[in-house]
Structure 1
Amino acid sequence: MSMNRTTTDVPASRKVILVTGASSGIGEAVAARLVREGHQVVAGARRTDRLAALAERTAQTAARSGGGLHPVRVDVTDRDDVGAFVEDARDRFGRVDVLVSNAGVMPLSRLDALLVEEWDRMIDVNVRGLLHGIAAALPVFTAQGGGHFVTVASIGAHEVVPTAAVYCGTKYAAWAITDGLRQECDPSIRVTTISPGVVASELADSITDPGAAQAMQTYRAHAIDPDAIAGALSYALAQPADVDVNEIVVRPVRQR
């Protein structure tokens, strides 16, 4: 992973925002929206071809808004990779204002299916990936006297349904870790959790268990556009420095 080391000045009215899992779904929508709003977005994911396509699609928008999208390959399960992701952004822009920890996977299955490797993958991405981001960004935010952590959790952090025990466990862990971070952080550092309900995305494509896949087709019948989540996140970022939006739950009106 590498970024251009030439320092780029960013006006104080605009933010330097790092987004993981930016190659599709919510992460892609968040990155695109923040570029439209004039921010410098470092879009991280493993699928560099998707990131390159996103950079191309947002190029004209960036030219009009004064923002920019900078694609960077990052694997959130690799602590060194995440550390370099944050460090390179700070070196390029002189600061990091926001880390959006969005990368996540959701291969649902019943526990008795014993898909242990898939459980491990959810723990690695959804929990360890979040912790790696905190470990990389917290010293930067502390040194510069401010910053904003945003965790994209899930409605699964608040409820458990059959086939989702491990996934909900990882998302509850993400919620708990993020709220603990909020309580421990200096007040100059803001902390927000976004908990989406059913959103149109590729998350369900990773489900290999036939029963879980069939149930998910019905469950996802009324999915909302990922830009709805991007809008909620944008709202949290736009608040005055003395306002900390701790959590937002966004779901389809038909998801009760």
Structure 2
Amino acid sequence: MGTGEGRVAVITGASSGIGVATARALAADGYRVALLARRSDRIQALADELGDGAIAIEADVTDRGTIVAAAERVKAEFGGTDVLVNNAGIMLLGPFSSDQQDDYRQMIEVNLIGAITATEVFLDQLRDGGGDLVNISSVAGRTARPGNGVYAATKWGMNGWSESLRQELQPGVRVTVIEPGAVATELPSHITHEQTRQGAEALYGQVTVTAEDIAEVIAFAVNRPRHLTINEILLRPAGQA
């Protein structure tokens, strides 16, 4: 019997990368998992792979109505949510200019407002179960560099909001912030600024830290006994500056 037997986890951005790996890790621990993403074919394939106890729900964190519908379905089919993993995110790097204005707005709406919306919608369910909120931030939530200013702003915002929630929701809901450095995922492929994308893909192509490594850390944090809360985990590939 897994450590999560009987518990329910909702994962946003569950169609790729850390979201997929986290779903697999928690399902292996006995969790029932609700997979939320826009790409319904991908999450349905993952739900089929995971079998009973996994459901795919097409949802977009920038569309509150779809998140409300997802929460209602999780309540109806699983009885509620014990763990919410706010994983949906995009990293649209590039020089700061008007050319990137759509990218800036999209990052703020997905990375920050999307996580806030999903948490607001699922909060009553988390409170009912004595739950865990896991926010996927980034090393960019601790330090900024040229070309990642708005992305960093969303992650610094995630960290500040998470720390406030940690104090507000304890002891009933535990809040954990995960801050990965470079992880081998498809994140850089979405960058619209050509030169930046090529550089990022070259860098990320050499990264040895996998989504599975991060999922293992998430599973560890949420499976701790209730008297312990792991508030913040900062992790990088060995050798990353």
Give the aligned partner of residue 4 of structure 1: none
Give the aligned partner of residue 13 of structure 2: 21
Q: Distance in 2 between matches of 1:95 and 1:107?
A: 34
Residue 130 of structure 2 is aligned to residue 146 of structure 1: yes
Q: Distance in 2 between matches of 1:201 and 1:145?
A: 32
Correspondence list, 1:1-256, <5 A: 13-59=5-51, 68-112=53-97, 114-142=99-127, 144=128, 146-220=130-204, 221-256=206-241
Instruction: Tell me if the contact between 1:23 and 1:51 (Cα under 8 Å) persists in the aligned partners.
Output: yes
Per-residue Cα deviation, 1:105-133 (whole angstroms, up to 9, x for no partner): 11111103531011010011001101101
Q: Tell me the amino acid that sits aligned with residue 245 of structure 1.
A: I
Per-residue Cα deviation, 1:80-114 (whole angstroms, up to 9, x for no partner): 21122122212222221011100001111110353
**SS of 1:131 mapped into structure 2:** helix
Q: Percent identity?
A: 36
TM-superposed CA distance for 1:158, in Å, is 0.8
Q: What root-mean-square deviation, in Å, do the aligned CA atoms of Structure 1 and Structure 2 show?
A: 1.7
TM-superposed CA distance for 1:217, in Å, is 3.1
Unaligned runs of 5+ in 1: 1-10, 63-67
**SS of 1:111 mapped into structure 2:** coil
TM-superposed CA distance for 1:161, in Å, is 1.5
Q: Distance in 2 between matches of 1:124 and 1:155?
A: 20
Instruction: Tell me if the contact between 1:222 and 1:254 (Cα under 8 Å) persists in the aligned partners.
Output: no
User: TM-score by structure 1 length?
Assistant: 0.88
Instruction: Tell me if the contact between 1:178 and 1:193 (Cα under 8 Å) persists in the aligned partners.
Output: yes
Instruction: Tell me if the contact between 2:4 and 2:223 (Cα under 8 Å) persists in the aligned partners.
Output: no
**SS of 2:21 mapped into structure 1:** helix
Q: Distance in 2 between matches of 1:12 and 1:26?
A: 19
**SS of 1:129 mapped into structure 2:** helix
TM-superposed CA distance for 1:213, in Å, is 1.4
Q: Tell me the amino acid that sits aligned with residue 146 of structure 2.
A: P
TM-superposed CA distance for 1:214, in Å, is 2.8
TM-superposed CA distance for 1:218, in Å, is 4.0
